[in-house]
Structure 1
């Protein structure tokens, strides 16, 4: 139901809660593992500017690679969605989630990388996964939700809070907050934070293998839809 091609706002938000949890866990666990957050493209853009000025080429190249990987992941997600829309009817949202789950399972092997170059590769890999996930929920929800973009969600919470305050101060204005939207945003931010706690704890307990339960969750969401046989089209 959550990954089916027949969408509703409730299904979009239900899937978004799961993906926000995975995003928060991947981001926090990735920070403990690699000392870098993997969904903060704004931060990487700032790193490019800062380190271009001070001449720190290693950090500069790492930031460029992280942004390129995130963008590539988003592009791959769009390719998978459009490919499956034409060739795997009704499964075009399940496919990118399955690929993300597989990539997360592979990330669990990143602990074998002990060199600096290997760590940078693992960082780029996880950034790509985050880009794929963000693009997938963006496509599914019609650009209403982006699970790795907490800044945007918190901004929207502030906007709705401002509308609520304005409406209370000047009730004749007719300005009201969107309570349903505000509730969903709060739940999404809460899921992201909860995922962060899970990811950080998971890394401290399991090391890089913290990614395996997250991969299992994505595969559990996607594989039933992918493995279900669809009836062939019959002419009448």
Structure 2
């Protein structure tokens, strides 16, 4: 529990950012591939939805236009929800600053795993079932967590940037520095970043295989173990915050609910 709490606590290190990012890359790969098996859309692929929106406007397929708009709106809403939760938790100095959006994602994953068949049939004004919007919301929620936590150094729900960065580092590895080139001017790859990008890519791929196989052989319930993992990551700091709040309330005089201000006892500043 101490290790899990350390991964999602508000006090961050480079190692905890990378460890959590790698775990969430696996989760994103599984949800993206498994979600495609369920709703036939890659709900983390906002570039594709923007292209679909443009193409569909030209050819007059307004149902596809609505679907793309709905996915974009849901993804942005998820990212916005993370920003609200993280900034509120920072102002409250909570340990679970990064755990709150992950806890919300875990709860939504449980709903998807247990009620996925119903959500797949639930219509929305965007001409796509509620399951599509829910998956896009979760992808935006998670991507904003890792992006904000790592100052945009790590992304987990889409691999375009990761593949680009990995390719550039590999290019640096292959670059031939002429003899006599000053050390400061020599082109050198950052091997630590190369390992990080390769690991993110590999875990996203592994998660995709697990997610697709899980949905094909088990169905929507394959999401439940993943949701349990996110719960294990997010609950420890949230529980610590609740315990601290309970101790503060217990330390206050009286019951802490109704304070009589009519007597001569000075109020204790909070």
TM-score normalised by structure 1 residue count: 0.93
In structure 2, the partner of 1:132 is: 141
**How far off its partner does 1:114 sit?**
5.5
Instruction: Find 1:35's aligned residue among 26, 31, 40.
Output: 40
1:1-236 map, 5 Å: 1-87=6-92, 89-108=94-113, 109-113=115-119, 115=121, 117=123, 120-166=129-175, 168-170=176-178, 172=181, 173-228=185-240, 229-230=243-244
Does the Cα contact within 8 Å between 1:147 and 1:188 map onto a contact in 2?
A: yes
Gaps of 5+ in 2: 1-5, 252-268
Q: CA RMSD in A?
A: 1.8
More helix by share: 1
Find the aligned partners of 1:57 and 1:45 in 2 and give their Cα distance.
14
**Cα 1:113–1:137 shift into 2, 3 Å:** closer
The CA distance in 1 between the partners of 2:80 and 2:172, in whole Å, is 36
Alignment CA distance shift 1:49-1:203 (3 Å): same
Bigger radius of gyration, 1 or 2?
2
Query: Offset of 1:121 from its aligned partner?
Result: 1.3
Against the structure 1 CA distance between its residues 41 and 180, is the aligned structure 2 distance closer, same or farther, given a 3 Å change threshold?
Answer: same
CA gap 1:114/1:125 in 2 versus in 1, 3 angstroms: closer
Distance of 2:94 and 2:119 partners within structure 1:
39
Q: Do the aligned residues in 2 keep the contact of 1:62 with 1:120 (CA within 8 Å)?
A: no
Q: How many residues align?
A: 233
Relative to structure 2, which stretch is displaced further, 80-89 or 147-156? Answer: 80-89
TM-score, scaled to structure 2: 0.82
Rounded to whole Å, the distance in 2 between the matches of 1:85 and 1:127 is 25
Quote the Cα distance in structure 1 between the aligned partners of 2:232 and 2:119.
28
1: CA distance between counterparts of 2:119 and 2:13? 42
Distance 1:211 1:88, change over 3 A: farther
In structure 2, C-alpha distance between the alignment counterparts of 1:113 and 1:79, rounded to whole Å: 26
8 A Cα contact 2:36 2:42, kept in partner: yes
Q: Does structure 2 conserve the Cα–Cα contact (< 8 Å) formed by 1:85 and 1:91?
A: no
Distance change in 2, residues 1:176/1:123 (3 Å): same
**Aligned structure 1 segments of 4 or more residues deviating by more than 6 angstroms:** none
